[in-house]
Amino acid sequence: MTDPRILKVRPGPEDYAWTFGGAPPVARIAPGTVLDLYTEDCFAGRVRSEYTEDCFAGRVRSEKDLVSVVCEFPFLNPQTGPFHIEGAEPGDTVAVHFVSVEPARDWAASTTVPLFGALTSTHATATLQPPLPERVWIWQLDRTRRTALFRARDSDLELELPLDPMHGTVGVAPSNLEVRSALVPDAHGGNMDTPEMRAGVTCYLGVNVEGALLSLGDGHARQGEGETCGVAVECAMNTVVIVDLLKDVATPWPRLESDTHLISTGSARPLEDAFRISQLDLVQWLVRDYGFGELDAYQFATQAVESPVANVCDTNYTCVAKLRKEWLPARQPHRGLHARLRETARTLRL
């Protein structure tokens, strides 16, 4: 029997959102709600005529399915949601605790996309060179052994990597009356593409509009740091999250918290600005919640921080700044919410 505390959401093809902001909520939920969600992969997209659920979902499912042929801008990166969180107002913070993130299929797809990615010129880093060849890799997922199998296209090479499922895109409606494509990461979250967004972490997002309008998608069976070619091991997901609300706590840029780390993010171009935002946010976190003076926090973070790149391919680049909690004084950041959600998660019957 399903846990009665859990709201199960299985969107139909018409139910996905393609933007943060600008889409009507699919449900209103109370803080504390557990959502059992299905998210489609980033290639799933609306087909205007004669579509069926099947063709919605499976746009890139073989090595022959080139993105430039089977996908239609802007109907890329479908988001499950948005959810209107009751009581959420600008100045508050939404917390999304990831209870589990599990691949919904036994395969995943990755590709090159013309003029997209870090090791190619793009529409912004514009050159006269032709794009790289378009190519698809289908990865086999072994959900028992927790592996993803890479099969080379130009040789017989086969290599296994560990599964490390995550969501590339988690966000709320943006500020400034804006509506942003689901492909964009910014202060509202969105397409940050950090592998830190995995089961066990809590993501904090500042609320910009009434109800927050939370949505998520873009599951990755795994992803390297930087998402270099622009596309991870893209996979539909079954994901359980607990959504909660911190009243009167502002969160200018998305933060994550795990059992072991405080994690700040920043999204901007050039990449050093994303780095600056994430590091300054971490410094301010130490000041607000851990009793540091500002320059002391700057000094301490300088020596202690881990700074993995998240993405260097999207419309903004994203950097992460991580600090081990065990090196810090014992405190309860964000009113101890992560620990409480972690505890709640343990009690769920999934």
Judged by CB under 8 A, the number of residues near a copy of itself is 94
Q: How far is the CB of 112 from a copy of itself (least distance, A)?
A: 7
Q: Which one of 306, 331, 332, 336 is in contact with a copy of itself (CB under 8 A)?
A: 306
69 binds a copy of itself (CB under 8 A): no
Binding pattern to a copy of itself, positions 8-27, x when CB under 8 A?
----------xx-xx-----
Q: Which one of 2, 4, 14, 177 is in contact with a copy of itself (CB under 8 A)?
A: 177
- Distance separating alpha carbons of residues 325 and 246, to the nearest angstrom: 21
CB under 8 A, 24+ apart: contacts of 142-146: 142/106, 143/102, 143/103, 143/106
Q: Which residues of 73-88 are buried (b: 16+ CB within 10 A; e: fewer)?
A: eebbbbbbbbbbbeeb
Q: How far is the CB of 1 from a copy of itself (least distance, A)?
A: 38
Q: Are 240 and 165 in contact (CB under 8 A)?
A: no
Q: Which one of 66, 132, 339, 348 is in contact with a copy of itself (CB under 8 A)?
A: 132
Structure tokens at 74: 């802007």
232 binds a copy of itself (CB under 8 A): yes
In terms of phi and psi (left: phi > 0; alpha: psi -120 to 50; beta: otherwise), the region of 97 is: beta
Residues 285-304 interacting with a copy of itself (rule: CB under 8 A)? 291-296, 298-304
Q: Are 197 and 98 in contact (CB under 8 A)?
A: yes
Residues 208-227 interacting with a copy of itself (rule: CB under 8 A)? 222-227
Q: How far is the CB of 296 from a copy of itself (least distance, A)?
A: 4
Q: How far is the CB of 244 from a copy of itself (least distance, A)?
A: 27
Q: Which one of 44, 71, 277, 337 is in contact with a copy of itself (CB under 8 A)?
A: 277
- Using DSSP, state whether 217 is helix, strand or coil: strand
Tell me which amino acid residue 279 is: Q
Q: How far is the CB of 3 from a copy of itself (least distance, A)?
A: 34
